[in-house]
Amino acid sequence: MAIETLVGTTLAGYTVRGKVGEGGTATVFRADHPTHGTVALKVLREKLQHDKTAVARFLREAQFGARVEHANIVRTLDYGQSDSDRYYLAIEWAGGEILDKYAEKSGPLPCKEVAAIMAQICGAVQAAHDVGIVHRDLKPENIM
């Protein structure tokens, strides 16, 4: 089953509602789960499902996300391999707007707002560093 056809199906107990984004290694969907509620469900790209290095990195990302607890970091709720052999990662749903879209729409942001956003980002990065994690893809597209 092609990744695009996951919408409307159930994967590992998550009902896939819609595609919200994609990156180089995975596609992200909004999904619902009876216990976890609404989540962001990240599914490893089909072409990488049998790439041992890609799978190891994907699962390592999931394990790292489960180790950090901070108000400004979405928690990993669940991860693994589904019955259909797809690797997935379920994280808390972060409502709001992606930072790059917000900044583009809002124009130049006031200094106080930038300072508040940066303080939240720095606190989250520090929490990750405190447990030995270095975020290697920190960019406005990955910040809500």
Measure the CA–CA gap between 65 and 57, rounded to whole angstroms. Answer: 12
User: What pLDDT, on a 0 to 100 scale, did the predictor assign at position 138?
Assistant: 87
User: What pLDDT, on a 0 to 100 scale, did the predictor assign at position 12?
Assistant: 96
130 is annotated as an active-site residue:
no
What's the Cα-to-Cα distance from 81 to each of 34, 62, 71, 78, rounded to whole Å? 18, 12, 28, 10
pLDDT digits (tens, 9 = 90+) for 11-56: 999 999 999 988 889 999 999 999 999 999 999 999 999 999 999 9
From 51, 100, 130, 137, the catalytic residue: 137
Residues β-bridged to residue 90: 41, 78
Q: What is the mean pLDDT of residues 67-71?
A: 90
User: What pLDDT, on a 0 to 100 scale, did the predictor assign at position 1?
Assistant: 55
Name the band, by pLDDT with cuts 50, 70 and 90, for residue 2. Answer: low
Which residue in the block uniquely carries the two structure tokens 């019955």? 83
Q: What is the mean pLDDT of residues 54-74?
A: 90
The structure's pTM equals 0.86
**Domains, the chain:** 1-95 (3.30.200.20), 96-144 (no CATH)
